[in-house]
Amino acid sequence: MIRVLFVCLGNICRSPMAEAVFQQRVNEAGLAGQFEIDSAGTGGWHVGDPAHRGTQAVLRRNGITYNGRARQVQPAELHRYDYVIAMDADNVSDLRRMDRSGALDGKLHQLLAFAPDGYPRDVPDPYYNGKFDAVYELVDAGVAGLLDTIRAEHNLP
């Protein structure tokens, strides 16, 4: 089993979107049985909330449903994952700060490190500017590259 955790600040906008799009791509590739995919936020303000309506709307427009609820990432769970995928540099530093045991060593990445050249490094937060469609384009490119990388690293079809 390959375990992937997507992380943003609130777990209502970006990381649920990345989780849902990645799950969709994994399903389409016939690889659902090989993956455990989840998302969480470094902050706890929205724990228990459904995804932001902007995330739900852009997912729906792209034929993807998402029913997850927000949760906060726990330091003790980090060792479970093979890939911990942060949306921006703040998420990376927050995760590193909470990781006192080195659980993240070698498996913490920014999503857009897997996007083609020319993409930005950070997925901007649509909570403040409402640009959910632009975020979807970034997330889609990032998860496509991430899946290609994981397939190569694990010799998946």
Contact 110, 89 (CB under 8 A): yes
For ligand 4NP, give the closer residue by CB, 99 or 125.
125
Contacts (CB under 6 A) with ligand 4NP, residues 84-103 = none
The closest alpha carbon to 109, from 75, 131, 69, 81, belongs to: 81
The HSE-up count of residue 21 (CA atoms within 13 Å, CB side) is 27
Asked if 143 and 111 touch (Cβ cutoff 8 Å), the reply is: yes
Piece of 3-11, 25-33, 72-80, 100-108 that binds ligand 4NP (CB under 6 A): 3-11
Q: Is 8 a catalytic residue?
A: yes
| Residue nearest to ligand 4NP as judged by C-beta position | 10
User: In the annotation, is 148 catalytic?
Assistant: no
Question: 127 is written with which tokens?
Answer: 């909570």
Whether 13 is a known active-site residue: answer no
CA 103/CA 119 separation, integer angstroms? 28
Task: Please tell me whether residue 150 binds ligand 4NP under the rule CB under 6 A.
Answer: no
Q: Are 8 and 41 in contact (CB under 8 A)?
A: yes
**Per-residue contact flags (x/-) with ligand 4NP for residues 119 to 138, judged by CB under 6 A:** ------x-x-----------
Query: Among residues 5, 12, 92, 108, which is the contact residue for ligand 4NP, using CB under 6 A?
Result: 12
Among 8, 37, 103, 108, binds ligand 4NP (CB under 6 A): 8
